[in-house]
Structure 1
Amino acid sequence: MSEMSSSAVPARPASASGTGHTALPPAKERKQVLGASLVGTAIEWYDFFIYGSAAALVFGPQFFPTDNPLAGTLAAFASFAVGFLARPLGGLIMGHYGDRVGRKSMLLVSMLLMGIATVAIGLLPTYATIGIWAPILLVTLRLMQGIGVGGEWGGAVLMAVEYSPTNRRALYGSFPQMGLPIGIIGANIVFVIVTNILAPDAFQAWGWRVPFLFSAVLILIALWMRLRIEDSPAFKAVKLERKDVKAPILDLFRNYTGTVLLAGIVSIAAPAIGYLYSVYMLSYGTSTLGIERNTMLLLIIFGAICHLITIALGAVLADRFAQKPVFLWGAALLTVWSFPFFWLVDSGKPLNIAIAFAVILLGQSLMAGPQAALIAELFPTEVRYSGASTAYQIGSILGGGFMPLIATGLFAAFNSSMPIALYLLLMGLISFAAMAVLKVGRHPASADAPVKPGAEHPGMGAVREGRE
């Protein structure tokens, strides 16, 4: 990535409006922020996704024992979905304090919450040991994970976007987005290693705990990286001029309710794809299609690598052609690929499944690449953490959190993947329609964003598109 020298950008006075009209921070400082955003988010998603892998592979018999394997799987996926119910709460709480106290402090809190909950799951006794308390404690810890990750995305995205040069806004914002496939890769690699080293009985008995306990090491690394960075220039400018608001959430819903809801609907398709392929496909491939577990794990890792590369592609295209059209391309690709995706997957052939994953994740990435900068720019700095977090978590619940559960239920009801394909197609159409009417780019979020007339006017009026 080419960096702009800080000396090449003339200093501007800090803007009270929160659009971040300050001197562009030095390249070294920006690189530290990008590294902390990427690594920290990757580790949080690693924690979040090892739960999904464990839910697909072991949590049914370990915490929700039943004579009906389908019922156990549904219960395990329901506990996975519980984390999504807590994510808006995390987004609201940390969004409030992130807008009042700072982005950095909330990123540290979210990391600690996620780390403590994940390690505790690795130490949790099973149903055979403590009975009904096992699933109760598991769900409670999953709620803690949800609160942690609910505050993570908004903070990591804003740190990256608010440090960005104008012509690299989407690319900078995509770094936290890339943390998601890196987390998936890490979670599945650890499960591949553990399942290959240990005998099946040992894995079921205690080996599944290793990925959770390993998180303790990763969390310490991320905390060290995040302690070394400063809060964003845009946030510091608002604090300096004392233009922050006492109740960001109230101000957000007083002035930007329509924007929050519409941005949340825009955000449903991308997580729907992510959790379909990374969580549900592991269960569907092994239990329904009879594919070997290691093969499915490796296919998911392959998909995550494609995802990682194409998120960067989506961001670069968004900086080149503007954020909104690139997002629309991704939503359109999802709608036309939903049925071919399942036709290929249902063949049971690894090559076909790899192709299905690669194409649908390209569609996801064309949405995810511009998504962070696009959502951040909908809100002024003083309510930006609250607004971005709330909108994103609405989309994650509606699109992603219940996808594995809904997909499992649809297949059980119809004994066919076609209803799941139709559901996925509808997700794409809804996001496409919402994005088509959303007015983007009202509040420039980058460190060197220029002033535009009317840029601080609340409501749905657009001042500019995603690039200058």
Structure 2
Amino acid sequence: MTDIAFGKARPLGRSEYKTLTLAALGGALEFYDFVIYVFLAVVLTGLFFPPDMPEWLATIQTFGIFAAGYFARPLGGVLMAHFGDLLGRKRIFAFSIFLMAISTLGIGLLPTYASIGYAAPILLLVLRVLQGAAIGGEVPGAWVFTAEHVPARHIGFATGTLTCGLTAGILIGSLVATGLNTVYTPIEVHDFAWRYPFILGGVFGLVGVWLRRFLDETPVFRELQKRKALAETLPLKQVVQGHIHGIVICMVLTWLLSAAIVTIILMTPTFLQKVYGFDALTSLKANSLATLTLSVGCIVAGLTIDRIGAGRFFVFGTVLLASTSYAFYTLLFTRPDLLLPLYALVGFAVGSIGGVPYVLVRSFPASVRFSGVSFSYNVAYAIFGGLTPVFLPVAMQADKLAPAHYILFVSVLGFLAGLYFLKKKI
């Protein structure tokens, strides 16, 4: 990996804990905005597509619009990273959450198919693309921002804590969706209550913009400015020309991360309803528990990778992910009563993705770090995170265990990456 400059060895101080807390909280609010869509996918299918469309086709199109947010991530991420490397991390950190707040609020105010016909799904698609552009700058920017605020030996903890904040946004989304289905009847949710989570998300986003006023620019970027060591040419050009190896490694790990999050956390509540026969409320309650254990797992992952390194971490972490996810998807057919403990266990195993940003931020030099992480992460997420919501519903027509087999496959890739890190003593 590239020799890069982070903070000197010392204990974390009050300012670092403040930065991590505010960054994680803002990330939670923004990620809630991005994922609340998927928790209402079943409802949105009936609202934004013709009523006579086959259910399987409408479901695929709904998840296709969800996937469009992933396809928009590279463009938004690369543009924001470009300015983040040249103008500063903090400015882009604030802009990304503002863009997310406005687009999420727009979804909450959209007229449905019954009101404006095919213009409804088209407008939904446009706003989803804007959400994707926003999150494309947010996630890599947040990892870089937190990593550059702490000593080198605490990078795993910093990025794991930030990832915990992002996954907490998923938990907030799951809890809001659960509360929605508890307070309102299915008819009320369909008629009007589905709008509330999106409107709430817009408010959350604006709160996040306010919170980021209290963050300082990273010491690493300030040092780059002081030494006049910022990128002399386009940061992305330098990344592509000089860091192909880092790009490939980061894209493989992002595939692992995206597959685990999209399949197990974001799509599985729908699978629980349509494949395993659970009702919406039960599915969302179980998902909330799994997301809670995921958030805890991210911090554990960050602390662990700081101590044992990337090699041993990914070897053991991917074995845990593969075994628990396969048990989850297979046992539920015969033991539905084990839904809560199984989902909680696999959620904790998904927390191993908290070690991914540790590798990403250490793979590029400071002058092009934001662009390197953003390009690798967002392109990979656009491909693999974007295709997964479309691929899995189709694959499950022939193989009900397609989610389990897919996670098993990407876990093997992560395991091989771990062996590579062991060989390189990373």
Normalised-by-shorter TM-score class? over 0.9
Q: Is the 8 A contact 1:273 1:360 kept in 2?
A: no
User: Per-residue displacement from partner, 1:381-417 (whole Å, max 9, x unpaired)?
Assistant: 10000111222223323443332322211112x1x32
Q: How far off is 1:148 after superposition? A: 0.4
What is residue 427 of structure 1 aligned with on the other side? Answer: 410
TM-score, normalised to structure 2, is 0.93
| 2:34 corresponds to 1:51 | no
Q: Is the 8 A contact 1:273 1:400 kept in 2?
A: no
Q: Is the 8 A contact 1:279 1:404 kept in 2?
A: no
What is residue 457 of structure 1 aligned with on the other side? Answer: none
| 2:274 corresponds to 1:284 | no
| 2:144 corresponds to 1:158 | yes
Moved over 4 A (4+): 21-26
Q: How far off is 1:435 after superposition? A: 4.2
What is residue 411 of structure 1 aligned with on the other side? Answer: 396
Cα distance change, pair 102–24 in 1 and its aligned pair in 2 (3 A): farther
Counterpart Cα distance in 2 of 1:356 and 1:21: 40
What is residue 21 of structure 2 aligned with on the other side? Answer: 35
Q: How far off is 1:319 after superposition? A: 1.6
| 2:345 corresponds to 1:344 | no
Cα distance change, pair 398–138 in 1 and its aligned pair in 2 (3 A): same
What is residue 189 of structure 1 aligned with on the other side? Answer: 175
* Larger CA deviation: 300-309 vs 276-285: 276-285
What is residue 126 of structure 1 aligned with on the other side? Answer: 112
Tell me, what secondary structure is at the counterpart of 2:72? Answer: helix
What is residue 230 of structure 1 aligned with on the other side? Answer: 216
Cα distance change, pair 422–20 in 1 and its aligned pair in 2 (3 A): closer
Cα distance change, pair 386–438 in 1 and its aligned pair in 2 (3 A): farther
| 2:314 corresponds to 1:327 | yes
What is residue 253 of structure 1 aligned with on the other side? Answer: 240
Q: 1:199 aligns with which of 185, 190, 202?
A: 185
What is residue 213 of structure 1 aligned with on the other side? Answer: 199
Cα distance change, pair 115–149 in 1 and its aligned pair in 2 (3 A): same
Tell me, what secondary structure is at the counterpart of 2:111? Answer: coil
1:76-91 maps to which residues of 2 (within 5 A)?
76-91=62-77
Q: 2:163 aligns with which of 165, 172, 177?
A: 177
User: Per-residue displacement from partner, 1:414-465 (whole Å, max 9, x unpaired)?
Assistant: 1x3233322221111123223433599xxxxxxxxxxxxxxxxxxxxx6x73
Counterpart Cα distance in 1 of 2:421 and 2:368: 19
Gaps (5+ residues) in structure 1?
1-16, 441-461
Aligned AA (1:425) = L
Q: How far off is 1:84 after superposition? A: 0.6
1:9-28 maps to which residues of 2 (within 5 A)?
19-20=5-6, 27-28=13-14
- Tell me how large the CA RMSD over aligned residues is: 2.1
Counterpart Cα distance in 2 of 1:21 and 1:179: 22
Cα distance change, pair 20–321 in 1 and its aligned pair in 2 (3 A): closer
What is residue 372 of structure 1 aligned with on the other side? Answer: 357
TM-score, normalised to structure 1, is 0.85
Aligned AA (1:332) = V
What is residue 280 of structure 2 aligned with on the other side? Answer: 293
Structure with the higher helix share, 1 or 2: 2
Counterpart Cα distance in 2 of 1:299 and 1:21: 40
Cα distance change, pair 283–196 in 1 and its aligned pair in 2 (3 A): same
Q: 1:304 aligns with which of 282, 285, 291?
A: 291
Counterpart Cα distance in 1 of 2:129 and 2:335: 35
Aligned residues: 422
Q: How far off is 1:348 after superposition? A: 5.9
Q: 2:56 aligns with which of 34, 57, 70?
A: 70
User: Per-residue displacement from partner, 1:29-80 (whole Å, max 9, x unpaired)?
Assistant: 212211221011111110111011122x211111122431111111101111
User: Per-residue displacement from partner, 1:164-197 (whole Å, max 9, x unpaired)?
Assistant: 1233220011122002321111111111222222
Q: How far off is 1:21 after superposition? A: 5.3
Q: Is the 8 A contact 1:269 1:331 kept in 2?
A: no
Counterpart Cα distance in 2 of 1:183 and 1:420: 23
Counterpart Cα distance in 1 of 2:241 and 2:291: 39
| 2:128 corresponds to 1:142 | yes
Aligned AA (2:266) = V
Tell me, what secondary structure is at the counterpart of 2:292? Answer: helix
Aligned AA (1:432) = F
Aligned AA (1:396) = Y
Q: Is the 8 A contact 1:330 1:362 kept in 2?
A: no
Cα distance change, pair 354–180 in 1 and its aligned pair in 2 (3 A): farther
Q: How far off is 1:305 after superposition? A: 0.9
